[in-house]
């Protein structure tokens, strides 16, 4: 691992088996994540964008090692290294028991604030739960910490006795954030944390995340499909298409000057709140995203690419440095 990095994903491949027939044999597989390399520096916010089904959430769930539970047959290869106080650890090599030790360091904020909180537990019980597993605090200490966390995320300490159904979506997401922060984690995976909220609440939650990030020196992997949200919060952005990272660079640059033809098309689709700019050039891609069970050979984007050449079918493009810290996986474009 490079010294400035806190999380490194190397050659990550995630395959979901597709079973069929009488004996449920594996008949095909979906490569949701295809040879992804990603380095995340300490304290930065890495935005991961792409359309539905491109594998961005799968990366988040692989990093936090919960994919094996929700999809038992999944095949994961590659390495996910994190830096801990005792050195570097490859999370994918750990079994469930060994992993439990590191769970306090890396936490997740879930997309749906309605299903991510157990409706049978009070808010206090929900937030104190990680403390039960990772600390030896007494009941009073835990309750103090819960109250402190609730105030940190903009709720009131007295609300710890309430139940989740008594809160709005935005408040529930704040509870989810408080829970993720409970054990003082170093890395937080935010899996589309605002896409289930309405726009006015989105801004509040994003700003809250930013404040907490600087206060607690957090490293964020921010998964989203909403580009303007990602641009607002991310120091770097990676753009995914069909399980591959096609562009990676500083947030400003990727958002305003995308290089890869897919990123260009994706970013031209962002609605702008300025009516004078309505004549902005829009790149409309042909066709649909190919099925991940049956990906095109060579460059996965070539079937829809406006600048595709016959040679694109022959080789898999790798991320190349285009300008300062700005990479794109296409040899035919330049910044």
Pick between residue 116 and residue 263 the one whose CB is nearest to another protein. 116
Pick between residue 32 and residue 248 the one whose CB is nearest to another protein. 32
Q: What share of the chain is helix, strand, coil (3-state, %, to 5)?
A: 35, 25, 40
> Measured from the CB of residue 171, what is the shortest distance to another protein in angstroms?
10
> Measured from the CB of residue 166, what is the shortest distance to another protein in angstroms?
6
Pick between residue 72 and residue 271 the one whose CB is nearest to another protein. 72
Pick between residue 59 and residue 108 the one whose CB is nearest to another protein. 108
- Centre a 10 Å sphere on the Cβ of residue 232 and count the other Cβ atoms it contains: 18
Among 193, 175, 168, 174, which Cα is nearest to 109's?
A: 193
DSSP code string of 196-241 = TS-HHHHHHHHHHHHHHHHHHT-EEEEEES-HHHHHHH-SEEEEEE
Distance separating alpha carbons of residues 20 and 5, to the nearest angstrom? 42
DSSP designation for 260: S
Pick between residue 119 and residue 297 the one whose CB is nearest to another protein. 119
> Measured from the CB of residue 177, what is the shortest distance to another protein in angstroms?
12
C-alpha distances (whole Å) from 100 to each of 44, 82, 220, 328 are 25, 14, 20, 36
- The conformational region for residue 11 under phi > 0 = left, psi -120 to 50 = alpha, else beta, is left
Pick between residue 66 and residue 333 the one whose CB is nearest to another protein. 66
Residues that bind another protein (CB under 8 A): 61, 64-66, 69-70, 72, 100-101, 103-104, 107-108, 110-112, 115-122, 129-130, 133-134, 156, 158, 161-163, 165-166, 176, 179
Structure tokens at 1: 């691992």
> Measured from the CB of residue 123, what is the shortest distance to another protein in angstroms?
9
> Measured from the CB of residue 63, what is the shortest distance to another protein in angstroms?
10
Distance separating alpha carbons of residues 48 and 240, to the nearest angstrom? 7
> Measured from the CB of residue 183, what is the shortest distance to another protein in angstroms?
8
Among 123, 122, 124, 142, which Cα is nearest to 134's?
A: 142
> Measured from the CB of residue 232, what is the shortest distance to another protein in angstroms?
24
Pick between residue 61 and residue 253 the one whose CB is nearest to another protein. 61
Pick between residue 105 and residue 245 the one whose CB is nearest to another protein. 105
Pick between residue 181 and residue 259 the one whose CB is nearest to another protein. 181
User: Taking CA 43 as the corner, what is the angle to CA 83 and CA 323, rounded to the nearest 5 degrees?
Assistant: 105
DSSP code string of 127-175 = HHHHHHHH----HHHHHHHHHHHHHHTT--GGGGGS-GGGS-HHHHHHH
Distance separating alpha carbons of residues 123 and 94, to the nearest angstrom? 31
Phi and psi at 51, nearest 5°, equal: -80, 175
Phi and psi at 284, nearest 5°, equal: -100, 120
> Measured from the CB of residue 10, what is the shortest distance to another protein in angstroms?
22
> Measured from the CB of residue 102, what is the shortest distance to another protein in angstroms?
9
């Amino acid at each position: 691992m490079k010294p400035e990095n806190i999380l490194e994903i190397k050659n990550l491949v995630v395959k979901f088996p597709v079973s069929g027939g009488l004996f449920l044999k594996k008949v095909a597989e979906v490569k949701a994540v295809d040879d992804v390399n990603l380095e995340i520096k300490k304290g930065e916010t890495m935005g991961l964008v792409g359309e539905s089904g491109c594998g961005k959430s799968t990366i988040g769930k692989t990093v936090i090692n919960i994919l094996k539970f929700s999809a038992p047959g999944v095949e994961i290869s590659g390495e996910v290294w994190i830096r801990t106080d005792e050195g570097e650890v490859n999370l994918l090599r750990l079994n469930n028991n060994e992993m439990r030790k590191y769970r306090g360091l890396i936490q997740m904020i879930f997309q749906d604030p309605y299903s991510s909180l157990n409706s049978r537990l009070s808010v206090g019980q929900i937030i104190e739960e990680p403390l039960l597993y990772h600390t030896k605090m007494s009941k009073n200490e835990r309750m103090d910490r819960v109250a402190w966390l609730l105030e940190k995320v903009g709720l009131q300490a007295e609300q710890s006795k309430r139940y989740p159904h008594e809160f709005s979506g935005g408040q529930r997401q704040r509870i989810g954030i408080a829970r993720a922060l409970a054990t003082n984690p170093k890395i937080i995976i935010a899996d589309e944390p605002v896409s289930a909220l309405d726009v006015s609440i989105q801004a509040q939650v994003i700003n809250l995340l930013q404040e907490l990030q600087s206060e607690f020196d957090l490293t964020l992997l921010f998964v989203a499909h909403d580009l303007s949200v990602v641009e607002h919060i991310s120091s770097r952005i990676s753009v995914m298409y069909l399980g591959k990272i096609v562009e990676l660079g500083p947030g400003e640059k990727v958002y305003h000057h995308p290089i890869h033809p897919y990123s260009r098309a994706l970013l031209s689709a962002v609605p702008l709140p300025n009516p004078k700019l309505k004549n902005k050039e829009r790149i409309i891609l042909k066709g649909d995203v190919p099925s991940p069970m049956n990906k095109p050979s060579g460059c996965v984007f070539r079937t829809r690419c406006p600048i595709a050449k016959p040679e694109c079918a022959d080789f898999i493009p790798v991320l190349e440095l285009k300008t300062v810290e700005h990479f794109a996986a296409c040899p035919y474009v330049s910044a």
